[in-house]
Structure 1
Amino acid sequence: MGAVRVVVVGAGVVGLSTAVCIAEALPHCSVTLLGEKFSPDTTSDGAAGILFANHFPDVPVEQQRRWFRSSFDHLLHIAQSEDAPEAGVMLSSGWQIFRDVPADQTPYWADLVIGFRIMTERELQRFPEHRFGQAFTTIKCECSSYLPWLERRFRRAGGRVEQRRVQSLQDLSGSFDLIVNCSGLGARALGGDSGMQPVRGQVLKMAAPWLQHFIRDGDGLTYIYPGIQGATVGGTRQGGDWRLQVDEGDTRSILQRCNRLEPSLSRARVLSTWVGLRPDRRSPRVERELLRLQGRTVPLVHNYGHGGVGVTLAWGTALEALQLVQQSLQETQRNRAKL
Structure 2
Amino acid sequence: MKTVRVAVVGAGVIGFSTAVCIAEALPSCSVTLLADKFSPDTTSDGAAGILFAAKFPDIPLERQRRWFKDSFDHLLAIAQSQHSPEAGVMLSSGWQIFKEVPADKKPFWSEFVIGFRSMTDRELKRFPDHKFGQAFTTIKCECTSYLPWLEKRFRKAGGQLQQRRVTSLDELSSSYDIIVNCSGLGSKMLVGDNQVYPVRGQVLKVEAPWLQHFIRDGDGKTYIYPGVHSVTLGGTRQEGDWRLQVDEGDTESILERCSRLEPSLREAKVLSKWVGLRPSRRNPRVEREVVQLQGRRVPVVHNYGHGGWGVTLAWGTALVALGLVRNCLREMPPQAKL
TM-score by length of 2: 0.98
Residue of structure 1 equivalent to 2:173: 173
> Quick check: 2:2–2:30 contact (8 Å CA) kept in 1?
no
Question: What residue is the counterpart of 2:71 in the other structure?
Answer: 71
**Deviation at residue 295 of structure 1 after TM alignment:** 1.2
SS at match of 1:7: strand
Distance 1:80 1:254 in 2: 32
1:262 Cα shift? Answer: 0.2
Instruction: Report SS of the residue matched to 1:97.
Output: strand
User: SS state of the match for residue 105, structure 2?
Assistant: coil
Deviation at 1:211, TM superposition (A): 0.3
Tell me what 2:198 maps to. Answer: 198
Number of the residue aligned with 2:40: 40
TM-aligned CA deviation for residue 167 of structure 1: 1.0
Equivalence map 1:1-339=2 (5 Å): 3-333=3-333
Structure 1 alignment gaps of length 5 or more: none
Residue 53 of structure 1: SS of its match in structure 2? Answer: coil
Post-superposition shift, 1:333? 3.6
State the one-letter code of the partner of 1:275: V
Structure 1 stretches of 4+ moved >2 Å: 333-337
Deviations 1:213-266 (A, max 9, x none): 000000000000000020000000000000000000000000000000000000
Other structure's SS at 1:85 match: helix
Code of the residue aligned with 1:213 in structure 2: it is H
Alpha-carbon distance in 1 for matches of 2:180, 2:84: 28
Separation in structure 2 between the aligned mates of residue 152 and residue 54 of structure 1, nearest angstrom = 31
Deviation of 1:117 (Å): 0.2
Summarize deviations over 1:275-320 as a string: whole Å, max 9, x none.
0000000010000000111111110000000000000000000000
CA drift at 1:332:
1.0
**In the TM superposition, what is the alpha-carbon distance from 1:58 to its structure 2 partner?**
1.1
Letter aligned with residue 296 of structure 1 = R
| SS of alignment partner, residue 134 of structure 2 | strand
Q: Normalised by the size of structure 1, how large is the TM-score?
A: 0.98
Task: Give secondary structure in 1 for the equivalent of 2:94.
Answer: strand
* Alignment root-mean-square deviation, CA: 1.1
SS at match of 2:193: coil
Deviation, 1:52, is 1.1
Instruction: Check whether the contact 2:5–2:30 (CA below 8 A) recurs between aligned residues.
Output: yes
**How much has 1:110 moved relative to structure 2?**
0.6
